[in-house]
Structure 1
Amino acid sequence: MKLYTSVGPNPRVVKMFLAEKGIDLARVTVDLGVGENRQEAYLKLNPAGQTPALELDDGSYLSEITAICEYIEERHPSPPLIGATPEERAAARMWTRRVDIMICEPLANGFRYGEGLQIFQNRIRCLPEASAGLKAVAHDGEKWLEGQLSGPWIAGDRFTLADILLFAFIDFGGVVGQPLDPGLSKLNAWFARVKERPSAAASA
């Protein structure tokens, strides 16, 4: 397998997932600064023009971070980062979906339509008037999650893909004008715990 990667929170999710698994894949760095991900060569392997993408041993390609992580989990089930039972897998997928929709997506688009507008305006449809509202939506999601945390990790006692996904995006938010609200004490404590994991530094 080979990972096509770049800077940004989405590639970091897969890199952190791999680090937690102890898997070292060959990597190709895609230069987002010059728009390499929107050029013909890269679009042939990922028509969506996004990173990361995973080249499989049969020469086919996977994109979308949750699909990539699901595939890696099936190929390398230990340690389980989605789950070892149907119940564990369902819970991890539920929380991954929640944090993605409620926090990660609005946070990312708030940046793309705001501070990142000069980068993205010629690559995707941007709605600069929506930036502030999307940032508020992400903050609302963080406040909601604060009230849901009942264990050390998002899914309770198990460290899962949901933790990796949210960590990558909240850490990114901290450097693009969307810092974590210091008043969210449980979420800040969770973030500190994740940051202490070796995979957090290995994926940075």
Structure 2
Amino acid sequence: MKLYNSIGPNPRTVRMFMAEKGFTVPKIEVDLRGGENRREPYLKVNPSGQLPALELDDGTVLAEITAICEYVDEIKKDTPSLIGDTAEERAKTRMWTRRIDLNIAEPATNGFRYAEGLKLFQNRIRCIPQAADDLKAVARERLVWLDRLMGDKPFIAGAKLTMADILLFAFLDFLKGVGQALDPACRNLTAWFERMKARPSAAA
């Protein structure tokens, strides 16, 4: 088994998840800045050209971070589940993961790609520069919404660390370096972020 790895919040989400599970695999570094992920031979591994990808021992390749994380969670049974131990817990984790992915991570990341990252991405994906500011605003609004719902809960989905926390942390930590820092007025999320940053897995 091996992980095709690179810079960026998506690979970091998987690395952090694996670190929390105590799951290690060899890593093959792919030069995302140089566009290595958008040409052969990597496209034979993952035709979407995205990172990361997990190649299993039989040659099967898993892409998409939620799929990879759920696979790792299922095969690594000797550590606490980061998806959930019951149907209700798993449903809540998936609900929050999807909300964060669609409402925060995706618009904020596209806002970066269409603005600060335009030079890197303009020849790789369809970019919409005129949408950048609005996409960033969408993400900010949803973070305010999430901050209100967070209250004094230790984690996004409740009492336990889940994939939703890891996903949001990896993206917020990336976004603060590209002009989209979390508003300090989001006090609940700011306190949560500091707790997440203190976890050993944050170094993954």
State the TM-score, normalized to the length of structure 2.
Answer: 0.98
Which residue is 1:113 aligned to?
114
Query: 2:177 matched to which residue of 1?
Result: 175
Deviation, 1:5, is 0.5
In the TM superposition, 1:1-80 aligns within 5 A as 1-77=1-77, 78-80=79-81
Deviation at 1:175, TM superposition (A): 0.1
Q: Which runs of 4+ in 1 moved over 3 A?
A: none
Which amino acid letter does the alignment assign opposite residue 187 of structure 1?
Answer: L
Aligned-pair Cα RMSD in Å: 0.7
Residue 87 of structure 1: aligned partner: 88
Which residue type is aligned with residue 90 of structure 2?
R
TM-score w.r.t. the length of structure 1 is: 0.98
Please report how far the alpha carbon of residue 85 of structure 1 lies from its aligned counterpart in structure 2 after TM superposition: 1.1
What code does the residue aligned with 2:50 have? Q
Find the aligned partners of 1:93 and 1:84 in 2 and give their Cα distance: 13
Cα deviations by residue, 1:15-54 (Å, 9 ceiling, x for unpaired): 0000001111100000012100001210111000000000
For 2:81 and 2:67, how far apart are their aligned partners in 1? 15
What are the within-5 Å matches in structure 2 for residues 116-155 of structure 1? 116-150=117-151, 151-155=153-157
Using the TM superposition, give the Cα deviation of residue 136 of structure 1 relative to its aligned residue in structure 2, in angstroms.
0.2
Deviation (angstroms), 1:73 = 0.8
How many angstroms apart in 1 are the aligned matches of 2:40 and 2:194? 41
Instruction: Using the TM superposition, give the Cα deviation of residue 57 of structure 1 relative to its aligned residue in structure 2, in angstroms.
Output: 1.4
Q: Give unmatched runs, 5+ long, in structure 1.
A: none
Work out the CA distance in 1 between the residues paired with 2:76 and 2:22: 10
Give the letter for the 1:3 counterpart: L
Cα deviations across residues 148-196 of structure 1 (Å, max 9, x unaligned)?
1141100010100000000000000100010000111001001001000
Mapped partners of 1:58, 1:79: distance in 2:
26
What is the percent sequence identity of the aligned residues? 62
Distance in 2, matches of 1:76 and 1:104, equals 27
Q: Tell me the CA shift for residue 87 of structure 1.
A: 1.1
SS at match of 1:174: helix
Question: Residue deviations 1:88-111, cap 9 Å, x none?
Answer: 111111110111111000111000
Give SS of 1:54's match. strand
Q: Which runs of 5+ in 2 are unaligned?
A: none
**2: CA distance between counterparts of 1:59 and 1:175?**
36
Could you tell me which amino acid in structure 1 is paired with residue 127 of structure 2? Answer: C
Instruction: Say yes or no: does 1:187 pair with 2:170.
Output: no
Q: Distance in 1 between matches of 2:142 and 2:68?
A: 25
What CA distance in whole angstroms lies between the structure 1 residues aligned with 2:185 and 2:33? 35
Q: How big is the shift at 1:55?
A: 0.2
Cα deviations across residues 120-152 of structure 1 (Å, max 9, x unaligned)?
Answer: 000010000010000000001100101111411
* Cα distance in 1 for residues equivalent to 2:22 and 2:67: 19
SS at match of 2:27: strand
